[in-house]
Each structure stands twice: as structure tokens, then as C-alpha cells.
Amino acid sequence: MIERDDLSDKDQAYYEDLADRAERGELRPVPGTAVYGDAARETAQAMVMAATGASTVDEATSIALGRPQSSTPV
């Protein structure tokens, strides 16, 4: 996974701008690439699983919410 510190200042500025635009609702999907229903759910789930490195939905939820994994000592 790429860490924020690994990005150049230019790349960090680009992604900060992209995030700001997304929060303002200025980004639009590329025509013909939108998915709906079960396909959208499956695509989103696969992306979250890949981003978190989780193997189950429950594990991904815990990671995404910032809770330690059950195998992580507290």
C-alpha cells in the first residue's frame, strides 16, 4: 500500500484537490462505467476488501472503522 509520505508534494496536492472536489460533489462518473444493484455492491465490496486487506466483510468493517483486528494484541 502506498503511504502518504511516499508521495511527492505534487502528487499529494493532486490527491488533496481530488478529495476536495469529491467532497463538493464535483466529480462525475465516466460515461458507460456506472454499475448498479448487485454489481455495484459486489464491486464496492471487492474494493473495500482490497483496500483493507481483509478476508471477510466483518474484518473489513472493523479495519475501516479503526478498530484493531481480533488477532492484534491490545
pLDDT of residue 41: 94
- Amino acid making up residue 26: E
Residue 72 lies in a domain: no
Residue 73 lies in a domain: no
* pLDDT band at residue 3 under the 50/70/90 scheme: low
Residue 54 lies in a domain: yes
**Rg of the chain over all Cα atoms, to the nearest angstrom:** 16
Residue 55 lies in a domain: yes
What is the number of structural domains in the chain?
A: 1
Per-residue pLDDT averaged across 4-29, rounded? 89
Residue 22 lies in a domain: yes
Determine the distance from the C-alpha atom of residue 8 to the mean position of all C-alpha atoms in its chain, rounded to a whole number.
20
* pLDDT band at residue 6 under the 50/70/90 scheme: confident
**Nearest in space to 36 (alpha carbons), one of 44, 47, 48, 26:** 44
Q: Name which residue leads in pLDDT, 6 or 69.
A: 6
Residue 69 lies in a domain: no
Secondary structure letter of residue 11 according to DSSP: H
Residue 20 lies in a domain: yes
Measured between alpha carbons, how far is 59 from 72 in angstroms, rounded to an integer? 12
| Domain limits for position 26 | 4-64
Measured between alpha carbons, how far is 71 from 74 in angstroms, rounded to an integer? 9
pTM flag (> 0.85): no
